[in-house]
Every structure is written in structure tokens, then in C-alpha cells.
């Protein structure tokens, strides 16, 4: 049988709706944050990053919001498409040190 | 542009055998990372190099694991002897600077029987 493993948080959204994936980070000294997308059978893929001197950054269909007061990071995906189905990881670093990854959130798209 | 290249993509071998995983980082990237991903433990950093020098190997699970980076364009992760609990997907990533955005390869799926 299958071993007990990580229970990833799961977010299910309707195709065409906006998705918001949240991440609580651990270190108040963190000054750099990244969102990654991992599709089945592939490595994590860089989506967007943000530095601590900003609170919002936009890319193509994606927006990252940073709230340093509560140590919270979010990824907003506009008009979610079937190809957005994946596991999404946030990662943080401080002082140009190595990235520390979160556990991930699984995003599923309902047709 | 070529991304991070890992080989082999899949490896199935019997316990006790030596396993060597290979990675070619993106040209111009001076930091290289080895990760292991399992259902039980998620994505774990095993070791990373900066300018070909190992900086932090605290994530390497046991002495059976070793990693080398003989030059800026090649790294290996070796497991000897391998055990069934080493079965996982092993990722290599590279970046320009340790804290910069890491770019991942597509991983090696390792199965130890």
C-alpha cells in the first residue's frame, strides 16, 4: 500500500476563475521570495519573484503579494486554465543565502 | 537556451549497487544544488556548491551519499551502496549566486529494488 506522506493543501477552482494560493513564511529577516510551479513528472519551474522592498509584483496572469507584517505571501493567478494544474511552492531566502522551500499547495482546475 | 540537464531520467537498480546521478548546470550559473523529493518528506536540500566548492552538505542523509563538482559545468551525486529507502526523485538546480532564483532540471527518478 501507499505510505503515509505529506498531505498537501489542495485548492480547487473553476476554469476561468481567479486562484489565490497562500504561503506563510518563517523568517522575518527573509528578503527574497519566489513562487515555483511543479507539474507532474517535471522539476519546479520559476514563476515570479519579489524582494522585501516591494509589496506587489505582476507578471503575465500572475501577481505576487507580500505582507511582511504578518509574514504572508500569496500568488494570484488570473483566469485559471487547465494548464495551471500543478503543485505550487513558495520559497524564501535572506542575506543571499540558500532558498528554503515550503511544503507546496496542489491546484486543481474543475472544467 | 539550454536549461539544467540531468541524466539519467530514470534509474532502476538493485540494492547494494552504486548509483551515479549527473547534472550539467546552466552556463554562467555559479551555484549548484542537489535536492531529493519524496511523498513522505517533500523537497529536501541535500548539498549545494558555490564556485565548485561544497558549501553546505548538512542535508546529505548518510555517508553513503557523496557529491562532487569537478568543474563549473558538471556535478555528480553518488550513492554507494544504494538502499530501497533511497528511492526518490533527485533534482539538480543552478543559479547565479546562492540566493538567486534557482532553475531546476527535470530530475532523475531513482528506484532501488
Query: For B54-102, how does the pLDDT look when each residue is reduced to its tens digit (9 = 90+)?
Result: 999 999 988 999 999 999 999 999 999 999 999 999 999 999 988 889 9
CA distance B46 to B58: 7
Strand B31-38 with B42-50, pairing: antiparallel
pLDDT beyond 80 at A7: no
* d(CA B75, nearest CA chain A) in Å: 17
Give pLDDT, residue A2: 39
Instruction: Give the HSE-up count for residue B36: Cα atoms under 13 Å, Cβ half-sphere.
Output: 19
Of the candidates B39, B98, B106, the beta carbon closest to that of A98 is on B98
Could you give the dihedral angle defined by the CA atoms of residues A110, A81, B108 and B13, in that order, rounded to the nearest 10 degrees? 30
pLDDT(A3) > 50: no
Cβ-defined contact of A95 to B39 (cutoff 8 Å): no
Q: Which residues pair with B3 in a beta bridge?
A: none
Cell of B62: 548518510
Q: What is the pLDDT of residues A26-71, one digit of tens each?
A: 899 999 999 999 999 999 999 999 999 999 999 999 999 999 999 9
| Minimum distance, in Å, between the CA of residue B63 and any CA atom of chain A | 23
Calpha distance B93→B27 (Å, rounded): 12
> Long-range contacts: A65-69, Cβ < 8 Å, 24+?
A66/A33, A68/A28
> B99 and A95: CB-CB below 8 Å?
yes
Alpha carbons A45 and B93: distance in angstroms, whole number = 10
pLDDT at A98 over 90: no
A77, A62 contact by CB (below 8 A):
yes
**How far is residue A6's CA from residue A87's CA, in Å, rounded to a whole number?**
13
Amino acid at each position: 500500500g501507499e505510505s503515509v506522506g505529506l498531505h498537501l493543501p489542495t485548492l480547487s477552482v473553476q476554469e476561468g476563475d481567479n486562484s489565490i494560493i497562500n504561503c506563510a513564511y518563517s523568517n522575518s529577516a527573509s528578503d527574497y521570495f519566489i513562487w515555483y510551479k511543479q507539474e507532474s513528472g517535471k522539476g519546479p519551474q520559476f514563476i515570479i519573484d519579489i524582494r522585501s522592498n516591494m509589496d506587489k509584483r505582476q507578471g503575465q496572469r500572475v501577481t505576487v503579494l507580500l505582507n511582511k507584517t504578518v509574514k504572508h505571501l500569496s500568488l494570484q493567478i488570473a483566469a485559471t486554465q487547465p494548464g495551471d494544474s500543478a503543485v505550487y511552492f513558495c520559497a524564501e531566502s535572506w542575506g543571499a543565502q540558500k532558498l528554503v522551500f515550503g511544503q507546496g499547495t496542489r491546484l486543481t482546475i474543475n472544467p | 537556451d539550454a536549461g539544467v540537464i540531468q541524466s539519467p531520467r530514470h534509474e532502476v537498480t538493485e540494492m547494494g549497487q552504486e548509483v551515479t546521478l549527473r547534472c550539467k548546470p546552466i552556463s554562467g550559473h555559479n551555484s549548484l544544488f542537489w535536492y531529493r523529493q519524496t511523498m513522505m518528506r517533500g523537497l529536501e536540500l541535500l548539498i549545494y556548491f558555490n564556485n565548485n566548492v561544497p558549501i553546505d552538505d548538512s542535508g546529505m542523509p548518510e555517508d553513503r551519499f557523496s557529491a562532487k563538482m569537478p568543474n563549473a559545468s558538471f556535478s555528480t551525486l553518488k550513492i554507494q551502496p544504494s538502499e530501497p529507502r533511497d528511492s526518490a526523485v533527485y533534482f539538480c538546480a543552478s543559479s547565479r549566486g546562492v540566493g538567486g532564483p534557482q532553475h531546476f532540471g527535470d530530475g532523475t527518478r531513482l528506484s532501488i529494488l
